[in-house]
């Protein structure tokens, strides 16, 4: 029993020693960075690239050594797994043989044999249980080592990439089968495109001499600002890539720590199992020794105990190695966390500097815009104003010229001049405004080629979809060019009659006597009746009774027309003598006398109304009958004479 107590004390001592090693390593460096792994820092606490290179090189050598050790250990574990499997199979066979012997002893009634074989079976079951547990632990250890090898290989590759990047080693060129990624074109407004625009394309001393000194200084400052933004962006991108690589390294390292912890736990369980096996073997040896077992069998038990003790020593060595390796991995993880903190801090500083550089770039762009684009826009606006005033002056002069030339009265020529000048002025203003807008867009850096191309496509679509609208404008231009009518003319267009109030290239506006306004598209005007062009004629048809003397009536009408012509109120309205046509028709109840009076274009209606008024009054005074339509109805009866009724 004292011997067993010593074994248990020794066992717990080994476990305490392993835990003390872990605790001692952490107590020596509260930050978790041993002196051989801790990166050196500058005076301001920042970790330099040289420190990272040294640490990565040291870590790489250690990882390679550990990889070789793990491969050797894997082969050893595979051998142990094979031995453990053979031991389990052998115990299974022994258990089966013992069970058969036990059954035979039971069948033969040998109670002493039954007791011996039962004891033997219990001993074999215990050994089988321990052997099976050792076999399972060996399998788990082998899987863990394989995962460790895979993870360590990935970590070595990742550390190699990081080390090459820190040293500036160029990455391997893609093979011919790998097509190089196409270079994305620089978009307008990006830092790359702005820098490309600042780079001299072709040396041209003449253009450089024409550039104003102040503009050259502004362009140089803007190029510097853009270069600063680009440098900051590149540095920030590099840091983000470093952070991404660091995160992957941390993931691999954490997985390595997890696998090493599992391996350590398996080794400890294996150690516990070996201690139990040693205890069983020693108990068996003591029992055999007390029973006076032959020396040969005792020597075999001593050899078995010696093998178990050697396995215990190997397991203790594995526990120490795993504990030290686990501590080293944790130290590396803490170092990576320190690097990550430093990179995050540096990334924040770069982001703030980049924001400041972008603000400076924006200020310089605004200043450059004010010094280059605004003067061009001002010149364009001044030219637009000059052209607008010139158009107004030309239209004013054209009104005067058209009013003094051409046919018709002064009022007619003025109306025609007002109409044509108004149309030309509106058209000119539209052309000037559109041209100015395009020039301003071009000066502001907007590509007007796309705008013009789009306008062409839109114009083609409008040409197909709005043919009637284009027809209206074309017909309106022809009407104005031929001067078929003008403002204040009385015309009849289709079924609509009225005075012309307004004429444009697209529509003609008429207002009739009732005040109704008619809008007639120029494309729908097929024929126009102008009642007020040059001169007009007031035509009258006067009906008198059949009993009246027609010659006397004609003389009366001539006399009345002469009196109206001599009247000062209507003298300027009548342009000539009466044009007597004579008897024009013999109606059902009257004789129609027709005559006309030539008047000014818009005076025929007042003249006609005045003549009708005077004719009615004179005929009433002279007793000349103006008949109204009537019919004679005759009724016939069979027994009486026909009766006549006049209605």
State the pLDDT confidence band at 415, using cuts at 50, 70 and 90.
Answer: low
At a CB cut-off of 8 Å and minimum separation 6, what does 472 contact? 505, 506, 507, 521, 522, 523
Q: What is the average per-residue pLDDT within 459-471?
A: 71
Q: What is the pLDDT of residue 642?
A: 54
Main-chain dihedrals φ then ψ at residue 42, nearest 5 degrees? -80, 180
Report pLDDT digits (tens) over 422-448: 777 877 888 888 888 888 888 877 777
Specify burial of residue 166 (Cβ count, 10 A radius: 0-12, 13-18, 19+): middle
Q: What is the pLDDT of residue 466?
A: 66
Q: What is the pLDDT of residue 385?
A: 92
Q: Which helix (H) or strand (E) holds 595?
A: strand 591-599
Taking the C-alpha atoms of residue 209 and residue 639, their distance in angstroms, rounded to an integer, is: 129
Q: What is the pLDDT of residue 203?
A: 41
Distances (CA, A) of 197 to 129, 307, 595: 81, 81, 87
In sequence order, what DSSP letters do the residues of 434-459 get, joined into one string?
HHHHHHHHHHTT--HHHHHHHHHHHH
Q: What is the pLDDT of residue 196?
A: 43
Taking the C-alpha atoms of residue 518 and residue 520, their distance in angstroms, rounded to an integer, is: 6
Q: What is the pLDDT of residue 29?
A: 36
Specify burial of residue 551 (Cβ count, 10 A radius: 0-12, 13-18, 19+): exposed
Above 80 in pLDDT, residue 177?
no
User: Is the CB of residue 56 less than 8 Å from the CB of residue 157?
Assistant: no
- Tokens found for residue 622: 């002279």
Instruction: Please tell me which residue, 466 or 272, carries the higher pLDDT value.
Output: 272
Main-chain dihedrals φ then ψ at residue 230, nearest 5 degrees? -65, -40
Instruction: Please tell me which residue, 64 or 637, carries the higher pLDDT value.
Output: 64
Helix axes 550-566 and 604-622, enclosed angle (nearest 10):
130
Q: What is the average per-residue pLDDT within 95-119?
A: 82
Of 31-45, 321-335, 425-439, 611-625, where does mean pLDDT reach its minimum?
31-45
Q: What is the pLDDT of residue 636?
A: 67
Report pLDDT digits (tens) over 485-511: 877 888 898 888 898 888 877 888 999
**591-599: strand order across its sheet:** 536-544, 591-599, 574-586
Main-chain dihedrals φ then ψ at residue 380, nearest 5 degrees? -65, -40
Report pLDDT digits (tens) over 544-566: 888 888 888 888 888 888 888 88
Q: What is the pLDDT of residue 637?
A: 64
- Tokens found for residue 574: 């009548």
Above 50 in pLDDT, residue 579?
yes
Q: What is the pLDDT of residue 188?
A: 40
Within 10 angstroms of residue 107's Cβ, the number of other Cβ atoms is 9
Taking the C-alpha atoms of residue 281 and residue 7, their distance in angstroms, rounded to an integer, is: 13
- For the entire predicted model, the pTM comes to 0.41
Q: What is the average per-residue pLDDT within 607-629?
A: 87
User: Is the CB of residue 70 less than 8 Å from the CB of residue 153?
Assistant: no
E strand intervals along 30-98: none
Instruction: Please tell me which residue, 119 or 607, carries the higher pLDDT value.
Output: 607
Q: Which helix (H) or strand (E) holds 180?
A: none
Q: What is the average per-residue pLDDT within 239-268?
A: 82
State the pLDDT confidence band at 202, using cuts at 50, 70 and 90.
Answer: very low
Q: 547 by DSSP, 3-state: which?
A: coil
Rg over CA atoms, the chain: 60
Which of 327, 307, 486 is closest to 414 using CA atoms? 486
At a CB cut-off of 8 Å and minimum separation 6, what does 585 contact? 541, 591, 592, 594
Q: Which helix (H) or strand (E) holds 583?
A: strand 574-586
Which of 228, 233, 217 is closest to 195 using CA atoms? 228
According to DSSP, the residues that pair with 491 across neighbouring strands are 498, 530
Taking the C-alpha atoms of residue 553 and residue 558, their distance in angstroms, rounded to an integer, is: 9
Taking the C-alpha atoms of residue 461 and residue 463, their distance in angstroms, rounded to an integer, is: 5
Which of 623, 543, 619 is closest to 583 using CA atoms? 543
Which of 102, 103, 96, 94 is closest to 119 using CA atoms? 102
Q: 634 by DSSP, 3-state: which?
A: strand
Of 74-88, 187-201, 267-281, where does mean pLDDT reach its minimum?
187-201
Q: Mean pLDDT in the chain? A: 75
Above 60 in pLDDT, residue 183?
no
Of 368-382, 515-529, 631-645, where does mean pLDDT reach its minimum?
631-645
Q: 170 by DSSP, 3-state: which?
A: coil
Q: What is the pLDDT of residue 386?
A: 92
Taking the C-alpha atoms of residue 331 and residue 351, their distance in angstroms, rounded to an integer, is: 30
Above 70 in pLDDT, residue 189?
no
Q: What is the average per-residue pLDDT within 462-467?
A: 67
Taking the C-alpha atoms of residue 293 and residue 279, their distance in angstroms, rounded to an integer, is: 19
Q: Look-up: residue for tokens 């008897």?
A: 583
Residues in the chain: 647
Taking the C-alpha atoms of residue 397 and residue 382, their distance in angstroms, rounded to an integer, is: 23
User: Is the CB of residue 508 less than 8 Å from the CB of residue 494?
Assistant: no
State the pLDDT confidence band at 408, using cuts at 50, 70 and 90.
Answer: low
User: Is the CB of residue 352 less than 8 Å from the CB of residue 279?
Assistant: no
Q: Look-up: residue for tokens 């702005």?
A: 194
């Amino acid at each position: 029993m004292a011997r067993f107590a010593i074994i248990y004390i020794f066992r717990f001592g080994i476990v305490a020693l392993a835990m003390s090693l872990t605790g001692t390593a952490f107590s020596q460096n509260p930050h978790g960075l041993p002196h051989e792994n801790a990166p050196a820092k500058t005076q301001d606490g920042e970790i330099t690239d040289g420190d990272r290179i040294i640490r990565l090189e040291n870590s790489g050598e250690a990882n390679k050594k550990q990889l070789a050790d793990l491969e050797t250990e894997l082969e050893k574990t595979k051998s142990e797994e094979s031995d453990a499997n053979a031991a389990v199979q052998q115990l299974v066979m022994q258990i089966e043989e013992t069970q058969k012997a036990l059954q035979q002893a039971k069948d033969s009634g040998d109670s002493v044999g039954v007791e011996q074989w039962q004891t033997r079976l219990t001993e074999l079951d215990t050994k089988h249980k321990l052997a099976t547990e050792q076999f399972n632990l060996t399998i788990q250890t082998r899987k863990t080592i394989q995962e460790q090898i895979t993870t360590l290989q990935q970590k070595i590759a990742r550390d190699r990439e990081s080390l090459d990047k820190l040293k500036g080693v160029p990455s391997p060129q893609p093979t011919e089968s790998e097509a190089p990624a196409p270079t994305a074109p620089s978009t307008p407004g990006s830092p790359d495109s702005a820098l490309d625009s600042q780079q001299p394309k072709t040396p041209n001393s003449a253009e450089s001499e024409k550039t104003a000194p102040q503009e050259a200084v502004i362009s140089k400052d803007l190029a510097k600002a853009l270069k600063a933004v680009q440098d900051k962006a590149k540095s920030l991108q590099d840091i983000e890539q470093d952070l991404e690589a660091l995160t992957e390294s941390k993931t691999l390292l954490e997985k390595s720590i997890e696998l090493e912890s599992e391996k350590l736990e398996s080794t400890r369980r294996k150690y516990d199992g070996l201690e139990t096996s040693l205890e069983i073997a020693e108990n068996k040896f003591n029992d055999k020794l007390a029973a006076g077992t032959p020396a040969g069998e005792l020597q075999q038990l001593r050899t078995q105990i010696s093998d178990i003790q050697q396995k215990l020593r190997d397991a203790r060595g594995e526990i120490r190695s795993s504990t030290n390796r686990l501590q080293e991995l944790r130290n590396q993880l803490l170092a990576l966390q320190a690097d990550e903190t430093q990179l995050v801090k540096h990334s924040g500083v770069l982001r703030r500097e980049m924001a400041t550089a972008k603000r400076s770039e924006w200020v310089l762009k605004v200043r450059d815009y004010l010094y280059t684009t605004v003067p061009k826009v001002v010149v364009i606006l001044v030219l637009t104003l000059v052209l607008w005033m010139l158009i107004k002056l030309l239209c004013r002069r054209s009104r005067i010229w058209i009013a003094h030339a051409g046919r018709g009265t002064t009022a007619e020529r003025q109306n025609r001049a007002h109409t044509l000048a108004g149309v030309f002025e509106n058209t000119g203003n539209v052309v000037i405004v559109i041209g100015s807008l395009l020039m301003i867009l071009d000066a502001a850096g907007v590509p007007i080629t796309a705008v013009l191309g789009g306008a062409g496509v839109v114009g083609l679509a409008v040409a197909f979809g709005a043919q009637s609208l284009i027809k209206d404008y074309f017909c309106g231009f022809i009407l104005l060019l031929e001067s078929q009518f003008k403002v204040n003319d009385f015309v009849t267009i289709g079924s609509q009659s009225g005075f012309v109030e307004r004429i444009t290239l697209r529509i003609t506006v008429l207002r009739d006597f009732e005040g109704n306004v008619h809008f007639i598209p120029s494309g729908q005007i097929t024929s126009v009746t102008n009642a007020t062009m040059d001169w007009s004629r007031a035509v009258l048809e006067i009906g008198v009774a059949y009993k009246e003397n027609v010659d006397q009536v004609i003389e009366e009408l001539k006399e009345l027309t002469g009196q109206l012509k001599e009247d000062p109120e209507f003298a300027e309205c009548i342009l000539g003598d009466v044009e007597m046509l004579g008897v024009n028709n013999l109606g059902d109840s009257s004789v129609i006398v027709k005559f006309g009076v030539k008047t000014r274009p818009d005076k025929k209606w007042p003249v006609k109304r005045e003549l009708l008024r005077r004719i009615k009054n004179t005929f009433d005074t002279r007793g000349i009958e103006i008949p109204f339509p009537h019919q004679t109805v005759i009724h016939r009866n069979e027994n009486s004479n026909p009766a006549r009724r006049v209605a």
